[in-house]
Structure 1
Amino acid sequence: MVERGLLPYLVVSQTVPLIALAPLIVSWGGKVNILGFTWPKWLSAAVLGAFLAFFPIAVGTLRGLASAPSASLELMSSYAASWKQTLFKLRFPAAIPFMVPAFKLGASGAVVGVVVAEISTGLKGGIGRLIIEYAREATGDPAKVFTAVFGAAALGLAMAGFVAISDVLLMRNRPKETTT
């Protein structure tokens, strides 16, 4: 039920071109001044990275929360379990196999979002900025551009690998599922 209500909004959020959204976030962020906090430029890139990572994580989590077996849900209901108990003792553990691949996609997507944000906002010091600077010099040495591109790809793979290692470390004591 929640999935059917939220999924259309999640899909619509992903139809907005990221390169068009980046200048808006920089502009709106520049106007933020709450209790002396000023919006640093890197925060705009972080917001865009989080925006791009949010969709696969949200979809994977929603699918996972809906994946609990109906017999188990009936059992929790017969025990008069509250929705909170059902969420944390049944639905969330059932969602983990759906969430880990979603986090891998989200981690890689966050790298893409930050690189695109760096390119479109002119943020200095990042891989996106290196791609722009090296692209100007590409006629002399195209290997520099490929170095930055492969650096971004390596960072995306490293983030996905970090999620995979975290999964192994956190789930090592979980009992293995048996198939009949």
Structure 2
Amino acid sequence: MIEATDFRDAMSLLTTAVNVVTTEGPSGMHGFTASAVCSVTDTPPTLLVCMNHSSRSHAHFIDNKILSVNVLGAQHEQISNAFASKLSSEERFEYGSWTQLQTGAPVLEDALVNFDCEIEQIQEVGTHSIFMCRVVAVRHGDQKSEQQDGTNESLVYFNRSYHQVGQVEIA
């Protein structure tokens, strides 16, 4: 049998994109930092998002039935840390500028890309819920302004620390 600590150590070497996942609805506005996000299919456009049952906002995502995945750029490390911290939901959203797309879930205005989703299915596996999310809107970040200030790199997590990935255009 594989020990949980051995599994976590091995998974720390799997490079993952850093995302802030948000929701808003009858249960309020909430969000958390997530690396367990991936594409399922493009027909229909579907994402998979994993969330720990022990997260204080877990029940709110289930109640609201919507979420947005905000893919963070290299400049968003402070936002990632805020949404992974013990700050209140209100304090977390003081970081960054937020707007909405179709579902009403908060989307980070300068994210690399935003996926606005409806939670269609929830699968319980061990300590986590797996949300199967139908993508109803996508918004790409403003690549032109990002290239001008050299920040069109992605924020990734590898070996328990942040890194930047992507090409910076050199004029």
Per the TM superposition, whether the score is higher than 0.5 is no
What TM-score does the superposition give when structure 1 sets the normalisation length? 0.22
Whose Rg is larger? 1
**Which protein, 1 or 2, shows the higher relative CO under an 8 Å CA cutoff with sep ≥ 6?**
2
- TM-score when normalising by structure 2: 0.23
